[in-house]
Every structure is written in structure tokens, then in C-alpha cells.
Amino acid sequence: MPTNLGKRVAYQRRIARMTQQELADAADVHIGTLRKIERNARGASDNVVEALAAALGVDPSLLLGSRDRADARVHAAMPSLSAVIAAYEAPDDGPVRQLSELRTAVDEAVTWRLASQYVRIAHHLPSLIDELMRAFHLASVEEKPETAGLLVAALRTADAVAYKYGALDLSARLVDLMRWAAPHTDDPLLDATVAYVRTETFFAAHAFAPGLRALEAALDRAPTSDDDAAMATRGALHMRAAVIAGRADLVQAADKHLAEARRLGDAVPENVYQGTAFGPDSVRVHEVSVAVSLGGDHVRRALDVANDWAPPRSLPAERRSGFYIEVARAQLWSGLTRDAFESLKAARHIAPQHTRDHPWVREDAATLRRLRRGDAESLSNFAEWCHAGE
């Protein structure tokens, strides 16, 4: 157990404005045990770390501190997750909770995904997906569509970890399983959501033009009604299409899709629809992403957005941190090295795991360390934190 675990627990407890007794009660840990942990007089098992993190409302990685230890917990879950989805047609026997309880569990898991809490996802999702597989096969005709929808949401949450940690084959299998389950929901909006998620396989393969075609085909199939959910679903597909068009250096297509996303974003309130954040703020974030994807003269557009606007705290942590990661790249390309480092630090503060494991962060931190070799020690510490150059 890391020797600084106690300091991190105490620090997060103070941020949460909790007394030791309040944290001990919330985590169901004896007060004496907590005091010893905070004094570094004893270690803590994984279950205790998980309980403390849950009570503090943070991901366990913030308490573990060590990148290697957090990564080990995530990677250790991959074989279990792989085994669970391999048995999707004949899951193991076991208990199945009521649909209302499964709904609550999946909703909680989705909040972890939006907050980039990958250690927590890795710990809980294999067993939750296993249970949802059983629930799907046992469900009545009336309950099967909702059960299938919960399964899709859980698979998407697990995929976020697999994709971020480079398990691309596992990620592709999770996406395929989402595509298998989605038709059972009788929800055409969910088909569009799965198409949105599937785009990451095209990003991973650098197959940007085929990815754009797949998204445009999904847009052709998407419901055209004017309710918020349908408009948000189409808007999210347009956001994704704009970014991948930018990666393909298709300027006109990127601008067309971004304009349509902006139109739809102005028509609905910012919210999470079908597991995807969409609204005017999300579109603004993607304006930066598209500008960075296009590069060259377009980078100025990213800087203009960043100079006049910052994502509100109401946006999911992953989306907010992604904004600062994109802005940092634009600033670095523009020679604004100090600003770029400040943006990377802002991203880390918002979503540490998402930032630390983002390949652009490692690349940019390594570049900044080369350019500012004799500068602040904090830059070297940051580069080591995200394993820049590896």
C-alpha cells in the first residue's frame, strides 16, 4: 500500500468537508481504523480503499496515488470482463436483482463513466454485466426491451475503460455486443447511440473517411422527430461526424456537421441524453476539437473559443477535461507553452485518470519538457506523472 495513502485520504476528506467520524460512518469503517490509515500507521485493503473513495465521492485512483497500482487494478479486470462477454449467449448461473435495482446500479455506473472513474468501473462492471446478461435471458417479453437497454448502457461503460486503456480488441467486442443488444430495445435512438460509440473503432484504426460514412448512414436512419431526445441524438452524431471529418481533413464536411450540431444544440437544453452529453456547451467543446483536428490555420478558432469561454462545471468531467486537453494542444502548436501547461493542469484537476491516460497529454507533456528543459520542476513532475515519452 502506498505510504502516502493516509495523506491522500485526509486531503480528500478535508476537500469534502467531512470529519473523521463522518467519513468513518459513511464508509462503514471503524473510526480507529481510519485514524491509523490517515496517520499512515496501517495500510488498507482494496475493499477499504473502495469504501473510503465511495464515501468521499472520488475514484479510488485518487487515493491510491500510484499510477502503476491504479493501472494494475484496471488491467486485472480485463480478463474477467472478456470472459463475461464471451459467455453472453449462456451466462453463468447466479442471482438477478429486480429491474428497479438493476436500473439504479446502471445509472450509478454511467455517472462513473461520465466522471472518468475508471478504477471503480473496472472493479464493478464485470459482475454487473454478468448479472445483466442473466437478467436479459430471463426477462419476460415486457421487460426484455428495458433490460436490453440497461445492458447496452453497462457495455458502453465498460468499453470506456477498455478503449482508454488500449484494449482495442476488447473494446471492439464490447461495441459488437452493444450492436447485438440494441435491436432488442425497440428504441431507434439507442441504435444511433451505438453508432456514436462505434466511431471509436474508426478513430483507433485511423479509418476516418469510413468512420464518417458510417456516421452519416446512422444519421440517415435516425428518427427525425423534434422532441429533445431525438434532436440531441442527431446532434451528437453530427458532433462526432464533425470531429472525424476534421481528422480526415475534410473541411467542408466538418463545417457542415458542426453547423448542424450547433443548430440542434441551440434547440435543446444541455443534458445527458442516452448516455451522451449534448447541448450548446457540448457543441462549443467540439468546436475546439474540430479546429484542432483540422490543424493549420484552423487552430486559431480553438484559441478564440478558449479565450472567451470555459466549460461550466455542470458538464461531465470527461468532457470538461477533454476541452482543456484539446486547448493545450492548440496552445502548444501556437507557441504558447506556459498556457499549454496551465491547460494540462486544469484537465488533470478535473479528471485525473482521463488526463493521465490520454495519449495527447503524454505527447504534449514530453514536448513541453523538451522546450522548457530548464524551467519549473512542476513540469517534470507532471511529465513523470503521466509517463510522458513512453
Among 151, 186, 221, where does a domain finish? 186
**Angle (deg, nearest 10), helices 280-294 and 251-265:** 170
| pLDDT surpassing 60 at residue 119 | yes
Single out the residue of 246, 103, 81 nearest to residue 173, CA to CA: 81
In whole angstroms, give the CA distance from residue 207 to residue 18.
Answer: 49
Q: Is residue 204 part of a domain?
A: yes
- Are 46 and 83 members of one domain? no
183, exposed or middle or buried, with CB in 10 Å at 0-12, 13-18, 19+?
A: middle
Same domain for 247 and 350:
no
Give the domain extent around 372.
321-390
CA distance 29 to 348: 29
CA distances from 262 to 83, 303, 304 (A): 41, 18, 17
Domain tally, the chain: 4
- The answer to whether 27 and 16 have CB atoms below 8 angstroms apart is no
The answer to whether position 118 is within a domain reads: yes
- 123 and 202 fall within a common domain: no
Q: Which three cell numbers stand for residue 185?
A: 430495445
Indicate whether 308 belongs to any domain. no
Cα–Cα distance for residue pair 385/163, rounded to 1 Å: 20
Flag whether 302 is in a domain: no
Are 152 and 190 contacting, i.e. CB atoms less than 8 angstroms apart? yes
Does residue 17 sit in the same domain as residue 82?
no
Report angle CA 163, 81, 195 to the nearest 5 degrees.
Answer: 45
CB 305 within 8 A of CB 280: no
Same domain membership, residue 179 and residue 228: no
Q: Which of 214, 222, 152 shows the shortest CA–CA distance to 180?
A: 152
Spatial distance between the Cα atoms of 119 and 5, rounded to a whole number of angstroms: 16
Give me the percent of the chain exceeding a pLDDT of 90.
67
Domain presence at residue 309: no
The Cα 199–Cα 206 span in angstroms is 11
Which pTM was predicted?
0.81
Is 312 part of any domain? no
Q: With bands split at pLDDT 50, 70 and 90, how would you rate the model's confidence at 236? A: very high
Q: Contact, 241 vs 200, CB < 8 A?
A: no
Q: What is the pLDDT of residues 250-269, one digit of tens each?
A: 999 999 999 999 999 999 99
| Residue where a domain terminates, one of 11, 33, 58 | 58
Kindly report, residue by residue over 150-175, the tens digit of the pLDDT.
Answer: 999 999 999 999 998 888 999 999 99
